[in-house]
Structure 1
Amino acid sequence: MGNLEIQQTQSFQTRQELKLILQLEQADLLEMPEEEFNRLTTEVESSPLFKKLYRKERIIRYQRYPRTDISSRFYQLNEEIAAGGTGTLDIESLLADKAGIVRQIQKMGLENFKRYFLYPEPGVNVEEIAQECNLELPEVEKINSLINEFSIMSEFYHPSALSSGHGIYYSKVASIERGSEGFVIGYLSPSYARGKYSIDYERFEELMRDGAFSAAGAKEARRLFKKLELINSRKDTVTRILQGIVEKQAPYFESGDAKALLPFSQKELAERIGLVPSSISRAISDKSLETP
């Protein structure tokens, strides 16, 4: 066997090994508990490198999924906090210092909150946000911190009503809500509601050629991109599953009649949305969905 053939064989084996490693990492991420996954996402987005690539270089941006939004429960809880109440949740001590921040969110209005905080555009700096929303710079940071906290602990603020005598704990990830054009998936975590990360690899290569990144900086950026793609894989899978459920069970959601609830196996769902059943099983494990 010639040297070229050996190199080609080794290259193919390397690609296959990397593909297997990626598949194993994706499987691990699908099985990760919600709080741990949301904490990972928040830590990634809080890193200086992410902020640089998102705000300054505009290599990273958010891309929302069709027919998704933040759940109305998010705003209802904010109103509860601002009013000084805790409802059915024992969160008074945890949120004792949050009422003032929430009142600032209410003061700026829902449209500005979504535009500058929940679904921010890359390139808009903290100073511009503060000016547009009539906030002090520390208040902007406090609102972002509150959103991060809600992302990490969304299952605490919005616990599942399901219970089990066998020690099984369910994390409520979303609610199905009626929108102007049909049902939408209302995510309880702002991180999920923002959607997936869109990475402009062409711009990254251009900046590389222009010397904007050192060799070490480029390597660090590529590691970040890999982590973002893995997070995307979980968000993609969960969203496709929920969208498949909404499409299949629309008659039930519309009528609220249990008789309209259709049999729906994981195998059928996998075929409907183009995923393998094992991915479905991992992604839905210990998760619950609030229906109308």
Structure 2
Amino acid sequence: MKLKTQASTTLKSKLSSTLKSWLPILQSGMQDLEETLGEFAKDNPYFDIKSKITNNFSSYKKNRNLPKGSRVGQGGGLSDSIENFCIQEESLEESLLAQIIPPLFPTQTSQNIALKIIENLNEEGYFEGDIENMAKECRCSSEEIEKIRKRFAYLDPPGIGAKNLKESFYFQLDNMDIKSEIFELCSKILEDLEHHIHFKDECLYKEAMRVIQSFKNPPALDFYEKEAVIIPDILIRQESNNIQVQINEKYYPGIEINLHKEKNLKAKEEFIKIKTKEARDLVDALEMRKATLYKIGIMIVEYQYEFFTGGEIKPMKLKDLAQEFGHAPSTISRAISNKFLECSRGIFPLKVFFATAIDEEIANVTIKDFVVDLIRKENKQKPLSDTKILKLIEEKFDIKIVRRTITKYRAQLNIASSSERKKLYKMSL
């Protein structure tokens, strides 16, 4: 009996020490996992972190002389994303500042005005400053401000500094090397772009529309903040009716314990013992992280089986998983935070599968998917209003919600209002 108690106490002690490192490791997303492990490594000379992300990036760099567009390895996209993620790119402001030079901006005054214009560009690259106030600040006329602003038509990216979409297109047209006949027709079409079809009998109509359709909208599109590379923790593999859950081992960091370093250190025996134990605890914690996420993956597939076979996401609560695991909901919340799952339908944050319920059977994610589908199939001559979308949702799901909920969902999905969509459809751009 005594022996059993001692064994139980030893196991509990081992698990307790592992848990100290398990929780922060569990909470870290795949992109941050190496950094978290690095914090443990700062004062421990007995282990090294083996980065598989770095190794994959290195192998990509060795192949960087491949033709443009070539991809490395199966899929290839992740290595491309990692390079984009690791290399700091020039910002829009930095790019424009480098172009504020003679002969386009020959004087100090013109350069100062240009700098003020840059300060008053929004994230899309449109000018939204107050000309009158700028003129007072720069001690010049409003006409001088406008004169300098219109020189932005010759900067990169084309269209930058325009006040609106139409002017941006004119800026971009001025910056193009095309035949004068096409230039003139493009100018006419831009005057009444919503009714461009009226020019379809012009012999150069198709060429002119190809030029217009090549314009950037918004002009600062190429400078939008790039999304960070997403590395899923859980992989769902499907073959026929067979669904398998896997942990993404490919980019998982490894821990290598280096006991040979003892020979080179004049450390006390007790210090060596403590630090090597900490290193082994980290290995155990990393394995516990994998096991926890694997079990979460299994349970998501079990609860959301219909989603993985083409259906919709159903409401799922953190406490459902917490009860299965025997952990507090806060621990499960840590486990799914900043984690992603990849399946045949795409890559999804784990938190998506714990959608807020509108009622017992319908999740808000399901409603959003339905809205997206409605917009995709709507009559472009008569786009659906929020009121009409609400009515269709109530008929489809037999529920009652308010119109402002639809407006909120549409905003979250970055879908324009019905009147704005109608304008965009008319442009056919």
Higher relative contact order (CA 8 A, sep 6+): 1
Length-normalised TM-score, structure 2: 0.29
Length-normalised TM-score, structure 1: 0.40
